[in-house]
Chains A and B, each alone.
Chain A
Amino acid sequence: ELKVEQNPLFLSMQEGKNYTIYCNYSTTSDRLYWYRQDPGKSLESLFVLLSNGAVKQEGRLMASLDTKARLSTLHITAAVHDLSATYFCAVDILGSGGGADGLTFGKGTHLIIQP
């Protein structure tokens, strides 16, 4: 059974600070996804990481993937209030025939950025 663990689950930080959210998963996979969810809303796709060593950046967010360590990180640089949201990582395991499977999500990191 695939398990995905995020930490921290809750993070309160000040604007301008840097921080990292960690996502560990239990089974070999080279596909990892990061999503943002605002209260009462659905998911917004942030990053898709498809290979070991993949690094992607968008604005103040940067995500990386280490498939050997089964670890992905989401790094926030110089946080601003608008980044307050819940962030989820998700992993999948495609069947050998390339069939689509649902995603297994971490519990989410509730991020509050205070002025």
Chain B
Amino acid sequence: GAVVSQHPSWVICKSGTSVKIECRSLDFQATTMFWYRQFPKQSLMLMATSNEGSKATYEQGVEKDKFLINHASLTLSTLTVTSAHPEDSSFYICSARVAGGFSYNEQFFGPGTRLTVL
């Protein structure tokens, strides 16, 4: 149980285009999903917290107009990188927290999406 999927697993796009990444909880409901970004050989950095039915909360330094997050249902959150540029190339990983789950912040991570912007 507690499987999180991401689609696509990798994407290559031209500079200036927009890319949408989907994060799905397959066998559980997730009221909260998180989006992280990982540059090569670096750690994961939290970008934003996505709550079902409400606006996402962005971390300091993350442009909300560039990284659009939509959490339309309890099993799906999407991250859209608008007008992508080469510096946005990174490994994007989502995680999901089980709705009504344990008191601790147990998160299940998706397999990641590797974005390359040419």
Query: What residues of chain A have their CB less than 8 Å away from a CB belonging to chain B?
Result: 31, 35, 40-43, 45, 48, 50, 88, 90, 92, 94, 98, 100-108, 110
Contacts and interface: CB of A to CB of B under 8 A. Distances in A.
Q: Main SS of the interface on chain A? A: loop
B112 A42 contact: yes
A41 B112 contact: yes
Interface string B18-61: 00000000000001101010000111111001000000000100
Given A42-B111, A107-B42, A101 B105 contact: yes
B71 interface: no
B93 A100 contact: no
Nearest to B112: A42
Interface residues of B, number: 26
Given A43-B93, A92-B105, A103 B111 contact: no
A106 B93 contact: no
A100 B97 contact: yes
Contact of B46 (A41, A98, A104, A106): A104
Given A100-B49, A102-B34, A108 B43 contact: yes
Nearest to B35: A102
B43 A43 contact: no
A42 B43 contact: no
